[in-house]
Chains A and B, each alone.
Chain A
Amino acid sequence: MNLKELYQEIILEHGKNPRNLRKTENFNKEAKGYNPLCGDKVHVYLKLNESNKIEDVSFQGSGCAISMASASIMTCLVKGKEEKDIKEIVEDFLEMIKDKPELSSKNLNKDEKTRLMCLSGVKQYPMRVKCATLSWHTLTSAIVGDNEEINTEKFG
């Protein structure tokens, strides 16, 4: 285990100053997520334009440095992307955070992958993986549009 890999500078910085921590005006998609183990909650808002591009994405909630940084980095990465590409990005991230050594998404450029890989240190801390994935599951839920609150206990 390596604390330095887990708490990298970029994570601490995003954790302290999360980007897009607000509520999007005129959002047209949203979902809530909840981690019953720690009580952390997140609410993701999306505004899609007419050509189904993510014009704005934001989140509200509170949580540990890992969950806040993960949500913050996620919003930065998906902003401006096509809605149809999000599912593939989320799946790639979830596979990486569990066991895959690299990201392979064709919808992320090299720089975006590097930024996302700073969360890979979480792998060594199985109890903390859910902190990193909560906002991503919630993003998927917002896009799919099911009204059920995301609950980390339902995912492996």
Chain B
Amino acid sequence: MNLDNIKNQFPIFSNKINSKNLIYLDSSNSSQKPKTVIDRLNSFYSNEFSNVGRSVHALAVAATNNYENTRISVQKYLNAKHKDEIVFTKGATEAINLVANTFGQKYLKENDEVLITELEHHSNYVPWHYLRQIKGIKVEFAEIDQHGSVSLENIEKKINSKTKIIAVTHVSNVTGAILPIKKISQLAHSKNIPVLVDGCQGAPHLKLDMQDLECDFYAISCHKMYGPTGLGILYAKKKWLEELPPYQGGGGMIKEVTKNNITYAGLPNKYEAGTMQTAQIVAFKESIKFIENIGIENIMNHEKDLMNYTVEILRKNNSVKLIGNPKEKGAAISFTIEGIHPHDIATILDEDGVAIRAGHHCCQILHAKLGMFATARASLGVYNNKDDIDQLNNSINKCKKIFGLK
């Protein structure tokens, strides 16, 4: 598959940033949007807009069909068993909060343990911390290894009879480490422990098969997957969605309401209260189509080659220190330069049109463990190429020059 002209499919790359071509290396934060997705938002709002699931007029029927068609696309893309296992949320953050809240409410009591890892984004820690405060549960952290990953052994070490759920990231947004989710699921299930996966950095870059991965919950951020903002997906095994209580209450999620009692709608409506992100959901079908047209295997190969090239180039650049060296690595790489703070790096790179992220990347636990406040991160999308990485390296050299480093 030739990806040479892929940038042409993204209108943003025809703009200049600080009078330079945009070198976008911040896709772990949020990806850029292909024209087909932007056009679909426009056409839906312009010609087809209606709320879904309530009215019987023609627009409402068509919008409902479009909305449900995206659910079916996602189900197929993830190879989920049932379409009812796909719940739309406002983001991956809400997807994780949904599980923490409902699972915590029903199954967790004082001194029970939730096992997460030191790699977790704050969105897979803070929701569990709430339960620590409300219910007196404990949050345990599986430790990172010297490569910046979390091994199956390090997870196993922290499992005991009090462990009630394991919540882990699929891919670290800092070190890029890919965790062995299938093995973690199998280990956890052998002890009757369910597994939640924060799939934010996995879904845009890896071939996903929910039945093969065997996890119980998988949270996805659509805006990192060439999709619209304000939208996430929770994949959850049907048994859990049936067993767990509803999350938010409101219109659309009820069966019958009386003064004394309320019964809830079936799946997936039970978890989709209120007016949902109709246009974004309709447009997200185009994001899936965009990925499928290129082929996820082609995207994986392209990003793997480019990440190998990035590692090679940055390793050769003395004074650049790479954070972690995981064997299985996704599309993000973090680094520091001795003597230059990551925020200064990001500001100087920005002048060359090179967009990276600097800071703790919402991973303060990991940064504390690494003994640093902040790192700089370059993350890849399907649209990046070797020229982008060469420009990154040139701009890093410019930083070093400004700061008087060799």
Contact = CB atoms under 8 A, between A and B. Distances in A.
A64 interface: yes
A62 interface: yes
A16 B405 CA distance: 11
Given A1-B18, A3-B351, A40-B374, A64 B341 contact: yes
Interface string A27-43: 00000000001111100
Interface string B281-307: 000000000000000000000000000
Name the prevailing secondary structure of the B interface residues. Answer: mixed
A131 interface: yes
Interface in B329-380: 339-344, 347-348, 351, 358-360, 364, 367, 373-374
A12 B364 contact: no
Contact of B341 (A1, A37, A65, A127): A65
Contacts of A7: 344, 348, 402-403
Interface string A125-151: 101100100000000000000000000
A90 interface: no
A66 interface: yes
Contacts of A40: 373-374
A6 interface: yes
Contacts of A80: none
B351 A1 contact: yes
A12 B403 contact: yes
Contacts of A125: 347
A62 B373 CA distance: 8
A119 to B, nearest CB: 14
Given A3-B351, A7-B402, A38 B364 contact: no
Given A12-B403, A16-B339, A131-B343, A39 B374 contact: yes
Instruction: Identify the interface centre among B351, B364, B374, B404: most chain A CB within 10 Å of its CB.
Output: B374
Contacts of A64: 341-344
Closest 6 A/B residue pairs (Cβ): A64-B341, A64-B343, A39-B373, A39-B360, A38-B359, A64-B344
Interface of A: 1, 3, 6-7, 12, 16, 37-41, 62-66, 68, 125, 127-128, 131
